[in-house]
Chains A and B, each alone.
Chain A
Amino acid sequence: MSAKSRKWLRFRVISMMVFFLVLYVALVSRAFQLQVVSGETLGKLADRQHRKSLTLYPERRFIFDRNGQKLAATVMADSVYVDPSSVQDRRKVTSRLSSILGVKRNKIAQALANEGSFRWIARQISPAGAERIRALDLEGVHLVREPKRFYPHREMACHLLGFAGLDSTGLEGLELRYDEYLKGIPKEAVWGRDARGHKIYLDEHSGRTVDDRSCSLFLTIDSKIQYIVESQLKSAVEKTGAKGGSVVVMNPRTGEILAMANAPRFNPNAFSLYTADTRRNRAVTDCFDPGSVFKPFIIAAALEEGLITESDEFDCEDGTYVVGDRVIHEAQNEKFQELTLAEVLKYSSNIGTIKVAERLGKERFHRYVTLFGFGSKTGIDLPGESTGILRDPRGWRDVDFATMAFGQGISVTAIQLASAMSAIANGGVLMQPHVVRCLVDTKGEMVKEFQPVALRRVVSTGTARRMTSILTDVVEGEGGTGKNARIVNLSVAGKTGTSQKFDFSAGRYSSNRVAASFMGFFPAEDPQMVILVVLDEPKVDRWGGAAAAPVFRRVSEQILRCSNSSMEVREVAGGEGGKEAQIVRASTTADMAYRETEDDESVIPDFGGMSLREVLRIAQRRGMEVRTAGSGWVISQNPVPGTPIKGDQPCYVLFNREG
């Protein structure tokens, strides 16, 4: 190789080296600029392109009845929105969406005429509608999943449950009262996405780790009893032509509300179709003049004060009694002369009750009425409770005082009446009514349990027993006004009531518009349930004994039939047809444990009667530990069914061949 060639080669090599060196320096500089100088900004830009942050809507928790039956749940539903900027053929989109969704064309056209990239068209549409829209694949029309509150039993317990709005916020009833517990926390889920928008999993995907403290509600309501009550109330309202009505079933010992129904009802799945009047929980919000169902509380007060005894006789003035400038008559123009205390209630004498109230005096009358809970809220865990109307006794005229004795001129709510009756039934203690038993968190652990709250003693146990005996005579005794509430082989205590409604336009009590009611409890010797029935303005059978008492009877009979799992039958002498009769004691409410919890996997199931294989299969499915002993079929278990499953706590199950 000549020197010239070598020099040329050297020059070329050095040139290439310089070229690559420059290239390398340029590359490193660019890398430095991208990674270090603008690294943070570019990183954020890239993140924005590659990550997709998705807000997982809070899932509203369940509402169960006392047996674990679902009353309210949350499902996912599709909602439709449009991006007006990317819609090309507006006419086509408008007509297609209008025909599928039933939304007016001009409303869709208005949404499309807007600027911006987001306008709702329809929220929470049906799965079929969503499928049709998805199939059309219209440009600029999108579907998004949203949680929707769903009430599987439709109208059942509608006034109690209330409803939640489109944004999963409780608007009425328990949904409103316990909104802070029921609604979950919105969670943020971070997803990666590639250039084509496909989802990629990211390590830092942390959307599901938010501490969710939302809780499900377990109510005191028994859905079987609730159903019985609602169907009987509905048929009574139809039969009597009443404007509406309410029924409350309460456990007098604990204050638990077992059922609360109003007519008319509404479907909370489509609450917007009903008026606010229909959606009102009348048993709690509406007050009315109680009429004769108020009398037992006056008699109880006088008995407690020792002012009267059962053997006392009252002159009922042959049906006409003048108080101040007013003449007071008996209901249905009855004419009574001398009546014993028991007969005053049995025949529901207005004049007899006025005589008792006169012995009591205004001050003591007011004190006892207040003690029984009238004139103030019961404290039930439902929104919108009314206090009723109890005027200051200093403003009472003699006639006011007299009419109040038989329940006119005082306004009470159905829940106040049921609570006051419970105080007589349970031996004299006023219990606070409540509808929620406990709150259970997402892990199935009980967070809060609502224990029975005794507000105060109103009358002594002795007075309560004496009242029970008198009230039993109202139903069981010959010619008693409550005879239509009689149940074969079961002792019932109760009182009928018919009150005239105040006509605000005329400024006086109406003679046509009445509220017919019956309140009672059974079995009289060991009360398990207090039931109050109120029918608003019945057109047929306008008296409490004729309209409301049969509803009480039918509801009670059906409850007794349905509660076969916990019936207690006791023999008593005598009875219908001279045969040996039996007293049936309903103890459904005594059993505090949850039953029928098979569809709730957060609580221990009832293994009763199952084989070892079945027990192990269920335990495995629910991820719970089971320790077994014996062979054959399950005869006992600990903890009892319905207890929330706690992490490592085993369930001991005992088997026996004898069953």
Chain B
Amino acid sequence: MSRVRTKKRWKLSRLIVVALLFMATALMYVWFRVSITNIDYQIAGEMNRRDALLEENRKLKVEVATLKSPGRIEAIARDKLGMRYPERDQVIFLR
């Protein structure tokens, strides 16, 4: 009688272990999915940031090009620094 009971108990515990394993796997799967989704959010955020920085970089490069404009530099030299083009007789070419 006790052998039959032990056998039954063993069967039950095996069932419980299998069920627990199944549950653990399922939970792990859910946990991984949640982590992946969180990472996807992070990647999307970082990509947005990258795009924004690239755009900023591009804007700055265009601004540099604008600031290097000969017309602007000449205006600063003439109006702010009081510079002017030399007269013909003021230019001496050196060897």
Q: Roughly how many angstroms separate A154 CA and B75 CA in the complex, as a whole number?
A: 14
Cβ contacts under 8 Å, B74 to chain A = 227, 231
Residue of A nearest to B39 (CB): A201
Given known A199-B48, A202-B40, A558-B85, contact A156–B93 (CB-CB < 8 A): no
Please determine whether A75 and B59 come into contact, CB atoms closer than 8 angstroms.
Answer: yes
A64 to chain B, nearest CB (A): 10
Cβ contacts under 8 Å, B69 to chain A = 152-154, 156
19 pairs from A and B in contact (CB 8 Å cutoff) = A69-B68, A70-B62, A75-B59, A152-B65, A153-B69, A156-B71, A192-B40, A198-B41, A198-B44, A199-B48, A200-B40, A202-B40, A224-B70, A557-B88, A561-B86, A569-B93, A599-B61, A599-B65, A599-B68
**CB contact between A567 and one of B40, B62, B93 (< 8 Å): that residue:** B93
Q: Which residues of A contact B (CB under 8 A)?
A: 69-70, 73-76, 150, 152-154, 156, 191-192, 198-202, 223-224, 227, 231, 488-489, 557-558, 561, 567, 569, 571, 582, 584, 599
Please determine whether A154 and B61 come into contact, CB atoms closer than 8 angstroms.
Answer: no
Cβ contacts under 8 Å, B70 to chain A = 153, 156, 223-224, 227
Q: Roughly how many angstroms separate A200 CA and B94 CA in the complex, as a whole number?
A: 66
Q: Roughly how many angstroms separate A202 CA and B65 CA in the complex, as a whole number?
A: 37
Cβ contacts under 8 Å, B93 to chain A = 489, 567, 569, 582, 584
Residue B95 at the chain A interface, CB threshold 8 Å: yes
Residue B47 at the chain A interface, CB threshold 8 Å: yes
Residue B64 at the chain A interface, CB threshold 8 Å: yes
Cβ contacts under 8 Å, A69 to chain B = 65, 68
Q: 15 extra interchain contacts, Cβ-Cβ under 8 A, other than A73-B58, A569-B95?
A: A69-B65, A152-B62, A152-B65, A152-B69, A153-B65, A153-B70, A191-B44, A199-B45, A200-B37, A200-B41, A201-B43, A223-B70, A227-B74, A231-B74, A561-B86
Please determine whether B44 and A153 come into contact, CB atoms closer than 8 angstroms.
Answer: no
A94 to chain B, nearest CB (A): 31
Task: Give residues of chain B (42-95) contacting chain A, Cβ–Cβ below 8 Å.
Answer: 43-45, 47-48, 55, 58-59, 61-62, 64-66, 68-71, 74, 85-86, 88, 91, 93-95
Cβ contacts under 8 Å, A150 to chain B = 62
Cβ contacts under 8 Å, A567 to chain B = 93
Cβ contacts under 8 Å, A223 to chain B = 70
Q: Roughly how many angstroms separate A558 CA and B91 CA in the complex, as a whole number?
A: 11
Q: Roughly how many angstroms separate A192 CA and B62 CA in the complex, as a whole number?
A: 32
A498 to chain B, nearest CB (A): 25
Cβ contacts under 8 Å, B59 to chain A = 75
Q: What are the nearest 8 A-B pairs in CB distance?
A: A201-B43, A227-B70, A70-B65, A152-B65, A152-B66, A199-B44, A201-B40, A201-B44
Q: Roughly how many angstroms separate A584 CA and B66 CA in the complex, as a whole number?
A: 32
Q: Roughly how many angstroms separate A617 CA and B53 CA in the complex, as a whole number?
A: 21
**CB contact between A73 and one of B44, B65, B71 (< 8 Å): that residue:** B65
Q: Roughly how many angstroms separate A231 CA and B70 CA in the complex, as a whole number?
A: 10
Residue of A nearest to B73 (CB): A227
Q: How many B residues face the partner with a CB closer than 8 A?
A: 29
A573 to chain B, nearest CB (A): 15
Cβ contacts under 8 Å, B85 to chain A = 558
Most chain B CB within 10 A, of A152, A224, A489, is at A152
B89 to chain A, nearest CB (A): 8
Residue of A nearest to B42 (CB): A201
Please determine whether B71 and A227 come into contact, CB atoms closer than 8 angstroms.
Answer: yes
Cβ contacts under 8 Å, B45 to chain A = 199
Q: Roughly how many angstroms separate A386 CA and B40 CA in the complex, as a whole number?
A: 58
Q: Roughly how many angstroms separate A153 CA and B64 CA in the complex, as a whole number?
A: 11
Cβ contacts under 8 Å, A156 to chain B = 69-71
Q: Roughly how many angstroms separate A487 CA and B91 CA in the complex, as a whole number?
A: 12
Q: Roughly how many angstroms separate A70 CA and B61 CA in the complex, as a whole number?
A: 9
Residue of B nearest to A553 (CB): B88
Most chain B CB within 10 A, of A75, A199, A201, A202, is at A201
Q: Roughly how many angstroms separate A227 CA and B44 CA in the complex, as a whole number?
A: 45
Residue of A nearest to B88 (CB): A488
Q: Roughly how many angstroms separate A231 CA and B59 CA in the complex, as a whole number?
A: 27
Cβ contacts under 8 Å, B39 to chain A = 201
Cβ contacts under 8 Å, B62 to chain A = 70, 73, 75, 150, 152
Cβ contacts under 8 Å, B88 to chain A = 488, 557
Q: Roughly how many angstroms separate A154 CA and B58 CA in the complex, as a whole number?
A: 18
Cβ contacts under 8 Å, A75 to chain B = 58-59, 62
Q: Roughly how many angstroms separate A599 CA and B47 CA in the complex, as a whole number?
A: 25
Most chain A CB within 10 A, of B40, B45, B95, is at B40
Cβ contacts under 8 Å, A231 to chain B = 71, 74
Q: Roughly how many angstroms separate A191 CA and B51 CA in the complex, as a whole number?
A: 14
Cβ contacts under 8 Å, B86 to chain A = 561
B1 to chain A, nearest CB (A): 18
Given known A154-B71, A227-B71, contact A201–B47 (CB-CB < 8 A): yes
Cβ contacts under 8 Å, A70 to chain B = 61-62, 65
Cβ contacts under 8 Å, B47 to chain A = 201
A523 to chain B, nearest CB (A): 13
B44 to chain A, nearest CB (A): 4
Q: Roughly how many angstroms separate A191 CA and B44 CA in the complex, as a whole number?
A: 9
Cβ contacts under 8 Å, A73 to chain B = 58, 61-62, 65
Q: Roughly how many angstroms separate A74 CA and B85 CA in the complex, as a whole number?
A: 34
A572 to chain B, nearest CB (A): 12
A554 to chain B, nearest CB (A): 9
Q: Roughly how many angstroms separate A199 CA and B51 CA in the complex, as a whole number?
A: 14
Residue of B nearest to A208 (CB): B47
Most chain A CB within 10 A, of B40, B41, B70, is at B70
Q: Roughly how many angstroms separate A74 CA and B58 CA in the complex, as a whole number?
A: 8
Q: Roughly how many angstroms separate A156 CA and B41 CA in the complex, as a whole number?
A: 46
Cβ contacts under 8 Å, A200 to chain B = 37, 40-41, 44
Cβ contacts under 8 Å, A74 to chain B = 58
Cβ contacts under 8 Å, B68 to chain A = 69, 599
Q: Roughly how many angstroms separate A202 CA and B44 CA in the complex, as a whole number?
A: 9
Residue of A nearest to B48 (CB): A199
